[in-house]
Structure 1
Amino acid sequence: MPRRLRPVDLDFVESAPLRLVFTAEATAPPQAVYAALAGDVPGWADWFTGVARAAPTRDGRGRDVRLAGGTRFDETVLATEPGARYAYRVDTTNAPVLRALLEDWQLTPAGTGTRLRWTFAADGPAAFRWLMPLARPGLGRAFRDSIRALDRRLGGS
């Protein structure tokens, strides 16, 4: 059953009780990476590890995301800065422990490619905040694998 999470704004990315930050580089330029993130939401299922289905909602101001294990997220897009930033928060989910979740993608030029910085900002019970950092290596690997898959999709390496 879906649960409503606490609505958060972009400043949550700095104040969240739990922040996991990952970086990777893609050979594709920032505009191409941004177009895949913000403009091709259904394409996420083809390159982001664990995403089974993704669809834009509310004329692009929202997203409906389903993970392979059955977790669902109804999201609101908070930032769309072409070539630079894409951020969204989760409004409702069937994940039992989350209280708030915001994901922020920062893109910066790196030579002819893109440096991506993904921040997973969340809140939940103490046990969640204690256990999630243990998942950092797996999340980091999934993120890097996903960026490599995105780069291949965009015609990079």
Structure 2
Amino acid sequence: MLHGMTRWFALESADAGFFDTAPHVFRYEKHYDATPAQVWESLQSDESLSAWGKTVGSLTWTSPRPFGVGTTREVGTGPTRVHERFYSWDEGSGYAFYVYEANVPIFRRFAEDYRVEPEGTGTRFTWLVAIEPAGVMRWPFKLLAPVVKSGFGRMAADGERYFAAR
């Protein structure tokens, strides 16, 4: 489908404070068998998370390098596509973004935060996902939250396998 035919739904912006107020916050902590530099290199590479496994189907950076605050990208998981804008970029140790548009009208606000820290000879990867569903989705989302959480959890596990295989 041509990009021009996709209907996009605007979301409200979010920042670090949203992780304290969002109705749904999912937290994942994993140990990766790679140095923080290697994990960071992967996170900001052209493929980024889509290289880790099949959970993220497509990922396109829509800003030129060098990346930083204000950088944008388009990410697809299954039929859902989102446009992300980075509001935080700590070179080598983490970044965070909010979704400003999605092709499905199910979110009011959506943000993610990634942290990369040394842990022994590897890396402690901490990932937060904060979601405020759109009004009509509040109740259905409450019921679906465990499913959504485990879906995102697959991506964190993809990373474990990806780095273990290197």
What's the TM-score once normalised by structure 1's chain length? 0.85
Residue matched to 1:4 = 10
SS class of match (1:73): strand
- Structure 2 unpaired stretches of 5+: 1-6
The answer on 1:105 being equivalent to 2:105 is: no
Separation (CA, whole Å) in 2 of partners of 1:101 and 1:48: 22
| 1:2-57 CA distance string (max 9 Å, x none) | 1000111122122212101111110111111111112x142422214421111111
1:137 aligns with 2:150: yes
1:17 to 19, 23, 27: 23
- Identity percentage over the alignment? 25
- 1:36-51 superposed matches below 5 A: 36-38=42-44, 40-51=45-56
| Corresponding residue pairs, total | 151
Q: Which has the larger radius of gyration?
A: 2
Letter in structure 2 aligned against 1:105: Y
Does the 8 A contact of 2:56 with 2:155 survive in 1? no
Instruction: Show structure 1 runs of 5+ residues with no match.
Output: none
Cα RMSD (Å) of the superposition?
1.8
Q: CA deviation at 1:138?
A: 4.1
After alignment, is 126-135 or 107-116 more displaced?
126-135
Inter-CA distance 41–101: structure 2 relative to 1 (3 Å threshold): farther
Structure 1 residues 128, 120: CA separation in 2 closer, same or farther (over 3 Å shift)?
farther
Instruction: Identify the residue that residue 82 of structure 1 maps to in structure 2.
Output: 91
